[in-house]
Structure 1
Amino acid sequence: MALRVTPGMMNLQMMRNINNNLIRMDKNQNNLSTGMKLNKPSDDPVGITYSLRYRSELSINDQYQKNADAATSWLEYNDTVIGQINDVGQRAYELVVQGTNGTIPQEAMDAITIELKQIYEQMVNLGNSKFNDKYIFNGQFTDQEPYKADIASTQETDTGEIIYKFTEGASLSINITGQDIFGKPTDADNLFGIITRVESAFSTGNQAAALNEMELLKSRLSKINEARSEIGAKTNRVELISSRMSDLELNLTEMQSKTEDADYAETIMKLKQDESVYQASLATSAKIMQISLLDYLR
């Protein structure tokens, strides 16, 4: 038995087809205007899963990159300050060499004593250096001044580490404590103690006592250079980590783009095809809608 196709059925199917064509064209128009092929989860349930994963990983990577930038700035500032401490220490060493010359008069030693006092004060100021309003040589107690001028040689700094995390398995201590630079109060080569003793020796004309401090001062300057080398090694490691995170960001962004972004050329082509199909369906429906009851009876 043949199936009878009524005008109502034809009209219903016609409206359904026109609506489908319009929905398809609207989707491509939306993709073109947003520049994305994933505008809602139903567009691609599998793709939206990958998209959310890429977004999460990019967010985490961005925070790690900020940590690396902050650590680099901290380390570079530490390197600058330690370099200044080394320069001032080298000047102190030159004065000790000059002052222990057996032919130097007391007036010259008095002049050296005055300069050593200035060097001592400069060392204390450098020991109290701050970065972003944080003392860099007092371990985790970055809000507390590590040294006071009158008792610097007897003060201990905090030895706690400031650790930055860069990836899930990569963390690094970025700080150098004051005791690593100036020495502990019990160290014979405590820098503040050496300068104080040399200053006292020269003020009394005791060249022999000042001469005994030369090797200790040389030892301390060597340790300062070792600390600076450690800072340099940490800076290089952070830069390598930062470079790897930049590469990872590019990779994740590219994969996210492939998952989310619309292909403009392809989308425009599909939109033009959909427009043609939609216009054709409207033209066809217009002819069908013109059929009247008289046409049907005839």
Structure 2
Amino acid sequence: MRVSSNVTYNDFIKNLGTNASKVQKTLNQISSLKEVSKSSDNPLLVSKIMNLNVAIARNETFGQEIKDSQDWINTQFGALQHVNDSMNNIRRLVQHSANGTQDVDEIKANRNEIQQEILGIVESLNTNFDGRYIFGGTNTTEPPFSVVRDANDAVIGIEYNGSTTEVSREIADSVVVDLPTNGEKIVGGSEMNDFLNGLIEDMDFYINNKERLSGIDRDSLDPDDPANADTLAELDRLDGWAQGMSSKIGDLDKRKGDIAEFQTRIDTIANRLKSAGARNETEKLSLKSTLSDRQDVDVAEKYMEYQNQMLAYQTTMAMGTKIMQTSILDYVR
């Protein structure tokens, strides 16, 4: 077969272009440290890399949700610790008032301190995290608890005004956790308010009537006279007042039980979030390792590949120089 100079020249240009493209591709890989820079380089590999990047982004979103939920739970735990401290102080004051030896001024001081503790409980339960109230259910923009006051503006209880629906967080694909945010469960519905109303009302009765009723001789009152019925009832209430206050300690312990049950739910969710966080971190490391294997280049290996390609390119150039120098005179000598 006859090979013309034009055929030789075209083959040379083709081979030179092929080697130059390989060198350029390897240089791009070394400079970018990436196996591919555009989809045409390797469509299947690019598709896998894109899917991995999406998975990593979702993993980071879930990780942030888990961290945010853990911070939320920790804030709740701290707030309930303050509530427990206030409840313990109220219990101490009720127990102190129930020993039957306190005078009116001491009961009044105890009542005033209990009212301050109620204000403290409401303040703790209205704690917010990142601008969101943590015990208001899904209603996180308004304070969920308010102080109940009587006609004289005296503190007598606590009222819940939030939502009864828990806040949900997605912490993994198709995995949702409900944060314990329904504050109604902390106060047992209206039970906490009813207890505090009764407690303050009993203490007010003692403060307002102790001295007056102590000056009345029960024996001088005819029990059959309807006009004495109210007075006798008040004397009976005063006589049983200390025992009634003692019984309130048991009621108070039930209210503390509601708070303890809520704290148990918080601990359970906290453990679940801790496990989810560990899984999320493991998945993140695995995804990034897989992405690195598919996307990142081995610099040492690529440099050796570059050296070999440069050698081939330079050899092609050298041979091309000799071919291009050939003329018609070389064939007629």
Shared fold by TM > 0.5?
A: yes
Q: CA deviation at 1:58?
A: 1.1
Q: Does 1:139 align with 2:137?
A: yes
Query: Aligned to 1:219, which of 254, 265, 277?
Result: 254
Native 8 Å contact 2:122 2:158 kept in 1: no
Aligned length: 292
Pick the aligned partner of 2:88 from 84, 87, 90. 90
Work out whether residues 198 and 209 of structure 1, in 8 Å CA contact, stay in contact via their aligned partners in 2.
Answer: no
1:199 is matched by which residue type in structure 2?
I
Q: How does 1:16-31 map to 2 (within 5 A)?
A: 16-31=14-29
Matching of residue 162 in structure 1 with residue 167 in structure 2: yes
From the superposition, tell whether residues 155 and 270 of structure 1 become closer, same or farther in structure 2 (CA, over 3 Å).
closer
Quote the Cα distance in structure 1 between the aligned partners of 2:160 and 2:244.
24
Runs of 5+ in structure 1 lacking a partner? none
Deviation at 1:250, TM superposition (A): 0.7
1:166 is paired with a residue of what secondary structure?
strand
Tell me the equivalent position of 1:194: 195
1:204 alignment counterpart? 205
Contact 2:136 2:182 in 1 (8 A): yes
Aligned residue number for residue 8 of structure 1: 6
Cα distance in structure 1, aligned partners of 2:54 and 2:291: 11
Which has more radius of gyration?
Answer: 2
Q: Does 1:63 align with 2:61?
A: yes
Q: Tell me the residue number matched to 2:187.
A: 182
Displacement, 1:104? 2.4
Check the 8 A contact 1:38/1:260 in 2, yes or no: yes
Offset at residue 261 of structure 1 (A): 1.0
2:261 aligned with 1:260, yes or no? Answer: no
Q: Give the deviation of 1:180 after TM superposition.
A: 1.0
Q: Tell me if the contact between 2:26 and 2:302 (Cα under 8 Å) persists in the aligned partners.
A: yes
**Greater CA deviation, 215-224 or 125-134?**
125-134
Instruction: Measure, in 1, the Cα distance between the counterparts of 2:44 and 2:148.
Output: 69
Cα deviation digits, residues 9-54 of structure 1 (max 9, x gap): 1111111111111111111111000101122223323222221221
Q: Is the 8 A contact 1:28 1:267 kept in 2?
A: yes
1:85-136 Cα distance to aligned partner (Å, 9 max, x none): 1111011111111111122232221211111111111122223222222222
Kept after mapping to 2: 8 A contact 1:197/1:210: no
Distance (Å, rounded) in 1 between the aligned partners of 2:142 and 2:317: 79
What is the Cα deviation at residue 79 of structure 1? 0.9
Residue of structure 2 aligned with 1:280, choices 304, 315, 332: 315
For residues 44 and 131 of structure 2, the distance between their equivalents in structure 1, rounded to whole angstroms, comes to 48
Unaligned runs of 5+ in 2: 150-156, 207-240
Counterpart residue number, 1:233: 268
Identical residues among aligned pairs (%)? 22
Pairwise CA distance, 1:155: 4.3
